[in-house]
Amino acid sequence: MNDFLTTSIADMRAHPSDIRTVALAGRLMPDTSVEPLLQVIQTVLGLGKAVIIEEKTAQHFNLTQYASVELRDIGMAADVMIAVGGDGTMLGVARRVAPYQIPLVGINQGHLGFITDIALQDAPSALREILHERQFDAEFRDLLHGEIIRNGEVIHSGTALNDVVVGRSGLEGMLELNVNVDGQFMYSQRADSLIIATPTGSTAYSLAANGPILHPQLAGITLAPVAPQSLSNRPIVLPNSCVIDIEIVSAKSAVVHFDVHSFAQAQSGDIVRIVQAPYQSIFWHPKSYNYFATLRQKLNWQLNPARPQ
């Protein structure tokens, strides 16, 4: 699919002429109450929209009274998808539906809520604004695609909205890595792990490793080492158009994580190749959404008393 066609499809999905069917997915944990999900379902139905439930969510909460569909088919069945849970729920859903360019709305039932930006108590008014009045801002978020290459063959691949992490396996010592960017040698790295993060992921694990915060609309990829041997080693931001090849040099095994949702083992001589994915996630935000307000709230930034709240 050429870039023009991909952009056209994404723009049509980001700004549909009508919103008729809404898909919902929930947090699939044993301690999760179904009540918040039911509240959101009733709000959507009250706005005159059809509801379908992601299949695993329907099974987990025994929601047999509603139509259900597999996550891979939601792109054909719904105009927008709502994730009710925490950032982990949103990550899992976003990564899997991104190829189908279905927009996502995040309602926070978790703790942090960087990308599930609508508080549960605000869901009725926010969903009316988005689904009924069609007043929202569409935002496109980059994803990463990674492959583990062994003897010239791809043995595993994955996609990440937050980050790809190449880390040591178990209690073994530091990893030794060679990093090449667009075919040029950048550096040899000895560290516990190396985080390759999108702007979305810059406020996740990368931030804990002293990586920079990147605005979601920046076209960049952050490389942040965790506990590097050299104290002068610092994170670096690269263009999102580059190809990053990470060679496992040490004899120790490594593990490669994709958003911590999927992982694979790697060994000495393997290449972990990371590029920007050929599609983006589409987020719908209420008009009241403010990225900097999210940072202030979630990171406990202190405001200047002279500044308005």
Q: Which of 217, 241, 285, 278 is nearest to 14 (CA)?
A: 285
Give 129's DSSP letter. I
183 token code pair: 């075919």
Distance CA 140, CA 144 (A): 13
Cβ contacts of 203 within 8 Å, gap of 6 or more: 114, 213, 295, 298, 299
Cβ contacts of 85 within 8 Å, gap of 6 or more: 25, 26, 27, 32, 107, 108, 109, 110, 116
Distance CA 211, CA 203 (A): 8
Give 289's DSSP letter. -
Question: What single string gives the DSSP state of each residue in 231-279?
Answer: TT---EEEETT--EEEEE-SSS-EEEEETTTEEEEE-TT-EEEEEEEEE
Distance CA 264, CA 254 (A): 9
287 token code pair: 């008009």
Cβ contacts of 171 within 8 Å, gap of 6 or more: none
Element (H, E) at 303: none
Q: Which of 100, 105, 95 is nearest to 76 (CA)?
A: 100
Distance CA 99, CA 117 (A): 22
Please say whether the beta carbons of 222 and 214 come within 8 A.
Answer: yes
Does residue 87 have an active-site annotation? Answer: yes
Q: Which of 79, 87, 142, 270 is catalytic?
A: 87
Q: Give catalytic residue positions.
A: 87
